[in-house]
């Protein structure tokens, strides 16, 4: 064996020291190559894993069951007046009887004395949506004068005020033009009481032979209809040039004025 190594050294013309150096050099090269190979496979594997995670995450994000709009993003409209409590009435359809039923339910509900409850109406269609002013009157079958319809903004509030005696319903409509809206309200006076009988729970519409009169209540110009015994049947006013308030109770109107102009 010893002779074989010596012969190999002579044939290669190399000293033993040179052979050992060459061997160490080759070993270092092999180790470096192996390290780089491992590093290459490690980086490649990491990139593949990252790409796979992104693909799977994107797939799950795209195909997962999307939450219903009304459960996440659809928020009830903010009441046009400060309300102590806000409720949402669900309507399964645009049937008039269902809307009237919801209105009557909330008029009969328990409301704290001197408090206002506002109600929004959510139509359970696909997609779900809160009904706006024109849709509200359309469902009720009320044909408003065209100039009043043109002045209506979408936002409105149906509310109930407990005047310490009983619940009093009211409507607040947001408008874009006070002049256009007022001319429309004047045109609507001949049908207003009949149209809003069930909404405002008006009881004595058939007893009146009177016409609307102008009156000042809390420094506001009010149009009011009295019955033959001089009891108010219905009244309305335009506040701040932006809102129409309709009620049958003077105390309710006074509370609305207070909340519009005095309360924070």
Domain boundary among 44, 63, 82: 63
| Domain interval for residue 37 | 2-63
For residues 212 and 10, the model is more confident at 212
The domain tally of the chain equals 2
pLDDT in tens, 119-166: 999 999 888 999 999 999 999 999 999 999 999 999 999 999 999 899
Residue 88 three-state SS: strand
> What's the average model confidence in pLDDT over 156-177?
96
Cα gap 106→241, rounded to integer Å: 29
CB atoms within 10 A of CB 131: 21
What's this model's pTM, rounded to 2 decimal places?
0.72
Contact assessment for residue 79 and residue 114, using Cβ atoms and an 8 Å cutoff: no
In angstroms, how far is CA 240 from the centroid of its own chain?
25
User: Are residues 35 and 137 located together in one domain of the fold?
Assistant: no
User: Are residues 119 and 209 located together in one domain of the fold?
Assistant: yes
Contact assessment for residue 262 and residue 119, using Cβ atoms and an 8 Å cutoff: no
Domain boundary among 63, 87, 114: 63
User: Are residues 86 and 213 located together in one domain of the fold?
Assistant: yes
Contact assessment for residue 238 and residue 180, using Cβ atoms and an 8 Å cutoff: no
pLDDT in tens, 28-63: 545 555 555 555 445 555 566 565 556 655 545 544
Within 8 A by CB and 6+ apart from 207, the residues are: 227, 228, 229
What is residue 93's predicted lDDT score, i.e. its pLDDT? Answer: 93
User: Are residues 33 and 89 located together in one domain of the fold?
Assistant: no
Cα gap 157→121, rounded to integer Å: 10
User: Are residues 199 and 255 located together in one domain of the fold?
Assistant: yes
Cα–Cα nearest to 257, from 223, 219, 224:
219
What would the DSSP string read from start to end of 149-211? HHHEEEEEEEEEEE-SSSEEEEEEEEES-HHHHHHHHHHHHHHHHHHTHHHHT---GGG----
Within 8 A by CB and 6+ apart from 243, the residues are: 80, 172, 173, 174, 175, 260
Domain boundary among 36, 63, 90: 63
Cα–Cα nearest to 69, from 133, 139, 130:
130
Cis geometry, peptide bond prior to residue 159 (ω within 30 degrees of 0):
no
Q: How many residues make up the chain in this entry?
A: 264
């Amino acid at each position: 064996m010893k002779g074989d190594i010596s012969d190999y050294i002579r044939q290669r013309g190399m000293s033993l020291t040179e052979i050992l150096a060459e061997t160490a050099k080759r070993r270092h090269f092999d180790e470096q190559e192996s390290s780089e190979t491992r590093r290459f496979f490690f980086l490649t594997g990491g990139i593949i894993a990252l790409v796979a995670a992104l693909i799977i995450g994107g797939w799950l994000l795209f195909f997962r069951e999307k939450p219903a709009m009304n459960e996440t993003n659809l928020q009830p409209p903010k009441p046009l007046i400060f309300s102590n409590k806000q409720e949402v009435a669900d309507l399964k359809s645009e049937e008039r009887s269902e809307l009237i039923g919801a209105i009557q339910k909330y008029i009969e509900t328990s409301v704290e004395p001197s408090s206002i409850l506002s109600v929004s109406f959510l139509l359970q269609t696909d997609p779900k949506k809160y009904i706006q002013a024109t849709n509200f009157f359309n469902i009720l079958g009320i044909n408003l004068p065209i100039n009043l319809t043109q002045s209506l903004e979408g936002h409105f509030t149906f509310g109930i005020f407990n005047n310490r005696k009983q619940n009093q319903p009211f409507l607040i409509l947001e408008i874009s033009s006070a002049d256009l809206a007022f001319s429309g309200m004047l045109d609507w006076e001949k049908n207003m009481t009949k149209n809003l009988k069930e909404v405002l729970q008006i009881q004595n519409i058939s007893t009146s032979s009177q016409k609307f009169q102008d009156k000042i209540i809390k420094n506001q110009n009010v149009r009011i209809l009295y019955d033959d015994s001089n009891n108010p049947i219905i009244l309305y006013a335009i506040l701040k040039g932006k809102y129409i308030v309709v009620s049958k109770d003077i105390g309710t109107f006074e509370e609305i004025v207070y909340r519009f102009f005095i309360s924070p």
